[in-house]
Structure 1
Amino acid sequence: MVSTKVKLWTVDDYHRMVETGILTEGDRVELLEGQIIEMNPQLPPHAATTQRAFRYLDRLLETVAYVRMQLPVTLQPRSEPEPDIAVVHIDANEYGDHHPTPNEIFLIIEVADSTLLGDRQQKAPIYAKAGIPDYWILDVNTRQVYVFREPTQAGYQQQETVLAVNMLLAPVAFPNIAISLNQLFLQNLP
């Protein structure tokens, strides 16, 4: 049997691939743990939930944070995911010279319809290793929110599942701001 080595890419390698045209804006990919991963296509419930959650959080947090939708965050040295929502520090340059890094990220939210397993088993460890203090997954199928907190190199130490119906949850960074979980989801989904 022949042994094959896998080439793992760095964020710098990934950026060079974009700069030279090897990867283009039309490529729906993200860098996860050194591997260039094709992103899943979005079905309407995923897209609509992402848009609704973005609009709600953008209005709610407009004076304390930027809310970014489906834009990269840089987790050196080998990950540059594009989370559905990233709540980040306000930046006077609007992140024109870099993508947000872990010390600028308050909260990351992924929206899951068919990606729940990957968001829990692949992305959660990456976000925990990077020290992201607050990671939520919105499960559009069950209207549940998976909340991950207390990051370590081994993963998140605190994990809980919350039903969105009439529940309020405050982000770690903003304990005095109550987010209505019900407002993150479309009302007409089962």
Structure 2
Amino acid sequence: MTLAKVRLWTVDEYHHMTAVGVLAPEEQVELIEGQIIPMAAKNPPYAATNLCAADHFRQVLIGQALVRIQDPIRLSEYSEPEPDIAIVRLDSRKYIDHHPAPTEIFLLIEVADTTLAFDRGQKANLYAKAGIADYWILDVNDRQVYVLRAPTPEGYQQETVFGSDAVLAPLAFPGVDVSLQQLFP
């Protein structure tokens, strides 16, 4: 039996597919490790949590970082995911000429109502391999936060689950206390 090689797409090819109409602008997809992956539907509890969390981070990090919602980040030649929230370095031009790269990312957050296994598995491995030091998953159903830290090429070495009553500081902002209950509606 002959095994077929899998053709992986680069970020440039992915952008070209949209430019020429192979991928429609309204398609909800992201490029992960060379594969075009459909994104999950945005249910009301998910959308409300995403909005609450982004609003809270904008308030507590005003003037210290940009809070991007469901915008692309470029992790490698083969990965351009769209995390629910990306806390990134301030850029006076608002990243007009590139998407934030790992060296510009302070914290990534995914909101999970139906995607917890994917966010803890494939997304976590992708972010760890890129060296993202601080990755949080907001579990909408159980109102808890998974905090993943200490990235290695094989994955995160530390995962801690906090209840929504906890207070936590992002690694990049140790003086900023985030009340986790403020991240949920």
Q: Work out whether the TM-score is over 0.5.
A: yes
Separation in 2, partners of 1:162, 1:67: 22
The residue that corresponds to 1:107 in the other structure is 107
Q: What stretches of structure 1 move > 4 A for 4+ residues in a row?
A: none
Superposition pairs of residues 57-136 of structure 1, within 5 angstroms: 57-136=57-136
Aligned residue pairs total: 185
Give the stretch that moved more between structures: 16-25 or 131-140. 16-25
Deviation of 1:4 (Å): 2.7
Indicate whether 1:178 and 2:177 are aligned. Answer: yes
If the length of structure 1 is used for normalisation, what is the TM-score? 0.94
Percent pairwise identity: 56
Separation in 1, partners of 2:20, 2:131: 31
The residue that corresponds to 2:162 in the other structure is 162
> What one-letter code is carried by the residue in structure 1 that aligns with 2:167?
L
RMSD: 1.0
**Residues 95-145 of structure 1: per-residue CA shift (max 9 Å, x gap):** 111110000000000000000000001100000000111000000000110
If the length of structure 2 is used for normalisation, what is the TM-score? 0.97
The residue that corresponds to 2:44 in the other structure is 44
Separation in 2, partners of 1:98, 1:19: 16
Give the stretch that moved more between structures: 8-17 or 98-107. 8-17
The residue that corresponds to 2:145 in the other structure is 145
- Stretches of structure 2 lacking an aligned partner (at least 5 in a row): none
Separation in 1, partners of 2:171, 2:25: 33
Separation in 1, partners of 2:147, 2:171: 11
